[in-house]
Structure 1
Amino acid sequence: MTKRARLAAAVAAPLLLSGATLTATAPAASAAPTGADACTHPSWSNKSPGKGTAKGGDAKVRTGPSQDCAVTATVGTSVVLQYHCWVQNSVGNKWTHVRIDGTQINGWVYNGNLDDGGSVHPDNKC
């Protein structure tokens, strides 16, 4: 019997003799954030030299990487977006942090709404 096994037996024996039950419990599962909790304003930096436009219509620029976050601007397909970096949110969707070209307006756009799929190179992750 190994030292670890002897120690475990020594600790468990008195508990079992006293009628105590040994059970293992898993840590409580935490749900993915939803609603306003998903708008955490993750940090970002300008890692990408890329740029793109909205795909097939208007794209919403949001305060965080979730459809539940507030819209700061809506851009059409002719508006150039300068890419900064990207994140994957708690439900698995990828979002790119952008700045509207020629302005100081910036925020998050869902990659599915960008003509080239956004900034997804591993080196450009926020």
Structure 2
Amino acid sequence: MRIRKSIAAISILGSVFAGSVATGGTATAAATSACTNGPVGNYSDAVFKLSSGTGSLKSGPANECSSVASAPYGTIFYAWCQKINDYGNYWVYGRIAGTQTKGWYYTSNLKQQSGNLYMC
């Protein structure tokens, strides 16, 4: 009888543990998906300035993507193209002026100075 109860307890714990591992894997997959760039290129001639605080340039078009660099308010950003991410938000891919540092900024952190911006 004790053996059956022990096996049942181990079985239940195994199920709970497997469920938590599966849930964690799903969350990681969602973040990875949101951070996928897809094809990008220099399709635009738009110039932006960082319009609020310190902007975090991201590795992909979503807030949960890793930071590539930070830049202070007023920094010039050369926009290459824009994308609507998995959450319906517009992000701009490009390069920080005076560097070869490329990545994504959320559009609400930018103020357009000149040029045209096209989709990636």
TM-score (norm 1): 0.65
Q: Name the residue aligned to 2:72.
A: 76
**What are the equivalent positions in structure 2 for 1:55-74 lying under 5 Å apart?**
55-74=51-70
Letter in 2 for 1:68: E
Task: Say yes or no: does 1:100 pair with 2:99.
Answer: no
Query: Counterpart in 2 of 1:113?
Result: 109
- State the 4+ residue runs in structure 1 displaced beyond 4 angstroms: none
* Aligned-partner SS, 2:61: coil
Counterpart contact for 2:46–2:112, Cα < 8 Å: no
Cα distance in 2 for residues equivalent to 1:57 and 1:120? 24
Answer 1 or 2: which has greater helix percent: 2
CA pair 100-77 structure 1, distance change in 2 beyond 3 A: same
Stretches of structure 2 that go unaligned for 5 or more consecutive residues are: 1-28
Indicate the residue corresponding to 1:52 in structure 2: 48
Deviates more, 1:33-42 or 1:88-97: 33-42
Q: Which deviations, in whole Å up to 9, do the C-alpha atoms of 1:14-63 show, x marking residues without a partner?
A: xxxxxxxxxxxxxxxxxxx7323311122111111111111121111100
Structure in which a larger fraction of residues adopt strand: 2
> 2:72 & 2:62 partners in 1: Cα distance?
19
Q: How far apart in 2 are the matches of 1:109 and 1:94?
A: 9
Taking structure 2 as the reference length, what is the TM-score of the superposition?
0.68
Structure of larger gyration radius = 1
Identity of aligned residues (%): 29
Instruction: Determine helix, strand or coil for the equivalent of 2:63.
Output: coil
Structure 1 residue runs of 5 or longer lacking an equivalent are: 1-32
Tell me, yes or no, if structure 1 residue 42 matches structure 2 residue 57. Answer: no
Aligned residues: 91
Displacement of 1:120 in angstroms is 7.5
Which structure's relative contact order is higher, taking Cα pairs within 8 Å and 6+ residues apart?
2
Q: CA RMSD in A?
A: 2.0
- Distance change (3 Å), C-alpha of 1:35 and 1:73: same
Q: Does 1:85 align with 2:81?
A: yes
